[in-house]
Chains A and B, each alone.
Chain A
Amino acid sequence: MSIFEIFVSAIFVNNVVLAQNLGNCPYLGCSKEKGVALGMGSAVIFVTIMATLCTWLVQKYVLIPAHLEYLQTLAFILIIASLVQFVEMFLKKAIPPLYASLGIFLPLITTNCCVLGVTLLVQREELGLMTALVYALATGAGFLLALLLMAGVRERLETCRVPKALRGTPIALIMAGIMALSFMAFKGMV
């Protein structure tokens, strides 16, 4: 697969939320307003790329030489968690405005399975570093897209009369399902 194909397929065809069902918690939790969705989405893009870079290097230069590939999940969680902490400190010091807009979302991402999923998938597919980073960027963008679409739908839902039994999370889950179905139309594109 060319890099372009990987890029498109990670956003639309194998959308991390809608096709792979990863990161459902922030998908439902942070999609009530478009502004929040945008903040969360961009934080995920940022962290995914950073995490992919770090874990790829650790996998290649630490885990594989030591024949400890089976420790992947544990090691990656550890790396992502400390990386997010590090990024938070760094942003607070170096780029305060970015910290002000992304700061509250960063701790939420610490154990986000979307980020962990990307790092593990990159290893399973045995992608090269450059391809892996593009894949990470595209996956984050796909997450952002799903979040933004969901936020748009939910902002509309605010002014609709939803049956009492379906208000809140139930209707959100139904919307998520319908959205996943519509994204299935992209299957076969790549």
Chain B
Amino acid sequence: MVLSSILMLTMLGFVAAALLAVASRVFAVDEDPRVEAVTGTLPGANCGGCGYAGCEGYAVAVIKDPAIAPNLCVVGGPAVAAAIGELTGQLSTEREPLITHRRCDKNAGDVKPKYDYQGIPTCAAAASLHFGSDTCDFSCLGFGDCVKACTFDALHVENYIVHVNESVCGGCGACTKVCPRSVLQLIPRRSKVAMSCSTKDRLKAVMDVCAVGCIHCGKCVKVCPAKAIAIEDDRVQIDYEKCLACTDCGEACALACPRKILRLRGGAVLAHYDESRAISPALAKKIAEKSA
């Protein structure tokens, strides 16, 4: 009795094993070993910053189609781009490392709440109710839709405004897609200046609600020697490709901004107010004339 049952199960097991062994030969799929190698080099965050469904999706695409650039992974940066380039035999150029930048400083600008919002605690819901709960219709609402979207834990909400931890931000842009007010924007990590307001209102409408709102005076547009700044879709936009290609402006736009909204980034903030900072006298004069 015991023997027969043991025998039977062993036999079944062997039959199944044999079938699977045969099947694994017959149905073997020739998978490109490079796909696995590329997947291994990618960071594995599956953030979708490259535009493909996860790291493996990009690995398959980049191996299959030589037209797809090997440097699309913003998170991995140059190291990963070089590794993929080596595996696929493609030339790889370094991709500009990006970072999320918040175009709102509502607490510094003392933006008041418009009403006491008690609905579903998401930015998307709050933004759809009477242009959001802030008096500024373009502010960061601070319900943290972007925090939920972030795969790198780089965002947190503090005092009803989101903060970006620049050291861990991968620059995938997931947060910029969920932000209903386009407050978050991707900018190059090495960019010198950044706009800290996203309003589309003008002049008094801005001044009434925020102390550090962009009034669209256009001074920055005029002073930029590289013509990198423009007002697009009612917002000041910096073309960083042009901006970073030019090096000798001495951050004229930041100096020209009457409301100190176009700022130097990060640790460079103090240098903004440093008189001895290198700026060509001719340009300084020009700026002074223009802003007078």
Q: Which residues of A contact B (CB under 8 A)?
A: 58, 62-63, 66, 68, 70-71, 74-75, 78-79, 81-82, 85-86, 89-90, 92-94, 159-161
Contacts and interface: CB of A to CB of B under 8 A. Distances in A.
Contact of B23 (A79, A86, A160): A86
Interface in B82-116: none
15 contacts: A58-B12, A63-B8, A66-B8, A68-B4, A75-B12, A78-B12, A79-B16, A82-B19, A82-B20, A86-B19, A86-B23, A92-B29, A93-B28, A93-B29, A159-B122
B5 A71 contact: yes
A81 B24 CA distance: 15
A66 B13 CA distance: 16
A89 B19 contact: no
Contacts of A58: 12
Nearest to A92: B29
Given A68-B4, A89-B23, A78 B120 contact: no
Given A79-B16, A82-B16, A71 B8 contact: yes
Interface in B12-39: 12-13, 16-17, 19-20, 23-24, 26-29
B125 interface: yes
Nearest to A71: B5
Given A82-B20, A92-B27, A94-B27, A161 B5 contact: no
A74 B8 CA distance: 11
A126 B9 CA distance: 23
Contacts of B26: 93
Contact of A90 (B12, B16, B23, B122): B23
Given A90-B27, A92-B27, A92-B29, A71 B9 contact: yes
Given A68-B4, A68-B8, A161-B120, A93 B27 contact: yes
A68 B5 contact: yes
Interface string B24-68: 101111000000000000000000000000000000000000000
Contacts of A63: 8
Contacts of A74: 9
Contacts of B20: 82, 85-86, 89
Contacts of B28: 93
Contacts of B122: 159
Given A68-B8, A71-B5, A159-B120, A78 B16 contact: yes
A46 B291 CA distance: 73
Interface in B116-150: 120-122, 125
A159 B26 CA distance: 49
B39 to A, nearest CB: 15
Contacts of A68: 4-5, 8
B178 to A, nearest CB: 14
A161 B119 CA distance: 9
Closest 8 CB pairs of A and B: A82-B16, A93-B27, A89-B27, A89-B23, A92-B29, A86-B23, A68-B8, A93-B29
A161 to B, nearest CB: 7
A120 to B, nearest CB: 16
A62 B24 CA distance: 25
Contacts of A71: 5, 8-9
Contact of B9 (A78, A81, A85): A78
A84 B17 CA distance: 13
Contact of A66 (B4, B16, B19): B4
B65 to A, nearest CB: 17
Given A93-B28, A161-B121, 11 more contacts: A58-B12, A62-B12, A70-B5, A75-B12, A79-B12, A82-B19, A86-B20, A89-B24, A90-B23, A90-B27, A159-B122
A93 to B, nearest CB: 4
Given A71-B5, A93-B27, A159 B125 contact: yes
A74 B9 CA distance: 8
A160 to B, nearest CB: 8
